[in-house]
């Protein structure tokens, strides 16, 4: 039986590179591309099948910043599949990133210059907005939409006799200082991306604590700095091209510069081939590239504690309950209005 792998954000960047690498290693997989833009997804699907005619590649439309879309996609997936072997929770946004020139300048002359370039700590701020669901957009897209997807797909994921895997695209930019349990949507801060990635790390730890006995395991990986639509939002492509000689030199000292989406998927692909029950849930797996272009995996103990992870998980369950009650009330009102016409 083919393994079924669901990948969110599969039509470009890390997600697309992941699809290509997985099929290059095993074209007997069934890849399901979970994408917002159907025309892009259909083009990617056709290209993948042309390169790997024995593979099975399908599409489901989902926008993880819209809970109705997540519920609809989950319903379709439960009709199509009896189980999912792996979900790559990869879709994410970093809206309107602003580079802090002052922090960059001072960082260049500090002892933390390599760390600064590896993690972008203190360099980036982003704008954020409220979605139709009344949530912060970065939080809903990067964290909560995926959380609801997992909750909805539990029947396909929880099989104690044959483990399933969740693999999150996290970041070296996940900073404890940017996250607060009291403001876990980061509505009052200026670094929602960093906060959302730290929230991802917490959620992964909590999911292991609550679902390992049911055969579901979760891990986080960082693709490093790869040139994708996300990074092109920070600086335009021509600036990255101008900076490339300096970046290639810097890569001898900072292995986070994976640069290509292919290189960035190193840790994500490696995780797929491991026995999930053998992996340490408190470790983040990092894609890294040497100055000579060789890819390898690094590990990093995450700066978090399991108690905070569990508290965050409970807050997400409370928010989920509130959302479901609101949706049910709205549906009931719509039925009443319809019956009165």
Q: What is the pLDDT along the chain (341 residues), one digit of tens a residue?
A: 789 999 999 999 999 999 999 999 999 999 999 999 999 999 999 999 999 999 999 999 999 999 999 999 999 999 999 999 999 999 999 887 777 777 666 666 677 666 666 667 677 778 899 999 999 999 999 999 999 999 999 999 999 889 999 999 999 989 999 999 999 999 999 999 999 999 999 999 999 999 999 999 999 999 998 988 888 887 788 878 888 888 888 888 888 989 899 999 999 999 999 999 999 999 999 999 999 999 999 999 999 999 999 999 999 999 999 999 988 887 777 677 666 55
Beta strands in 141-273 (DSSP E): 164-169, 216-222
Domain positions in the chain are: 4-339
Choose, from 88, 193, 198, 285, the residue flagged as catalytic: 193
CA distance 86 to 7: 8
Strand bridging mode 98-99 / 86-89: unpaired
- Quote the pTM value: 0.92
User: How far does CA 118 lie from the centroid of its chain?
Assistant: 19
- Cβ-in-10-Å burial (0-12, 13-18, 19+) of 246 comes to exposed
Q: Which fold has domain 4-339?
A: Rossmann fold (3.40.50)
Under DSSP, is residue 142 helix (H, G, I), strand (E, B) or coil? helix
193: annotated active-site residue? yes
């Amino acid at each position: 039986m083919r393994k079924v792998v669901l990948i969110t954000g599969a039509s470009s960047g890390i997600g697309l590179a992941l699809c290509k690498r997985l099929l290059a290693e095993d074209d007997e997989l069934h890849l399901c591309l979970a994408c917002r833009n159907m025309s892009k997804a259909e083009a990617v699907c056709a290209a993948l099948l042309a390169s790997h005619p024995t593979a099975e590649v399908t599409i489901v439309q989902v926008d993880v910043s819209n809970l109705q879309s997540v519920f609809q996609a989950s319903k379709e997936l439960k009709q199509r599949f009896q189980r999912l072997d792996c979900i790559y929770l990869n879709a994410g946004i970093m809206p309107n990133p602003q580079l802090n020139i002052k922090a960059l300048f001072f960082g260049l002359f500090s002892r933390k210059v390599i760390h600064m370039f590896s993690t972008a700590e203190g360099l980036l701020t982003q704008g954020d907005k409220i979605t139709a669901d009344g949530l912060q957009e970065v939080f809903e897209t990067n964290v909560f939409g995926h959380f609801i997807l997992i909750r909805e797909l539990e029947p396909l994921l929880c099989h104690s006799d044959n483990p399933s895997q969740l693999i999150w695209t996290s970041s070296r930019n996940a900073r404890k200082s940017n996250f607060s349990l009291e403001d876990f949507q980061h509505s009052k801060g200026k670094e929602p991306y960093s906060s959302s990635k730290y929230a991802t790390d917490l959620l992964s730890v909590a999911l292991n604590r609550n679902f390992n006995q049911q055969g579901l395991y979760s891990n986080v990986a960082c693709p490093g700095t790869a040139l994708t639509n996300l990074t092109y939002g920070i600086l335009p492509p021509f600036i990255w091209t101008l900076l490339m000689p300096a970046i290639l030199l810097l890569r001898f000292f900072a292995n986070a510069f994976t640069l290509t989406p292919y290189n960035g998927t190193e840790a994500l692909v490696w995780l797929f081939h491991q026995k999930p029950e053998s992996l340490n849930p408190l470790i983040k797996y990092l894609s890294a590239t040497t100055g000579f272009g060789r890819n390898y995996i690094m590990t990093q103990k995450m700066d978090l504690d399991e108690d905070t992870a569990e508290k965050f998980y409970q807050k997400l369950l409370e928010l989920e309950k509130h959302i479901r009650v609101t949706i049910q009330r709205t549906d009931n009102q719509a039925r009443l209005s319809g019956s009165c016409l």
